[in-house]
Amino acid sequence: MSINSKEKGKRGELEVVQLLRNAGFPAAERTAQYCGNNPEGAADVRGVPGIHIEVKRVEHLNIDDALDQSRRDAGKTDGGLPIVVHRRNGKDWKVTMDARDWIALFKKARERE
User: In the structure, how many helices (H) and strands (E) does the chain have?
Assistant: 4, 5
- Domain spans, the chain: 3-111
What is the C-alpha to C-alpha distance for residues 83 and 43, in angstroms, rounded to an integer? 10
pLDDT tens, 64-102? 999 999 999 998 877 899 999 999 999 999 999 999 999
What's the CATH number of domain 3-111, 3.40.1350.10, 3.40.50.300, 2.40.50.140, 3.40.50.150?
3.40.1350.10
**β-bridge pairing 81-87 and 51-57:** parallel
pLDDT tens, 21-74? 999 999 999 997 555 555 667 999 999 999 999 999 999 999 999 999 999 999
pTM value is: 0.87
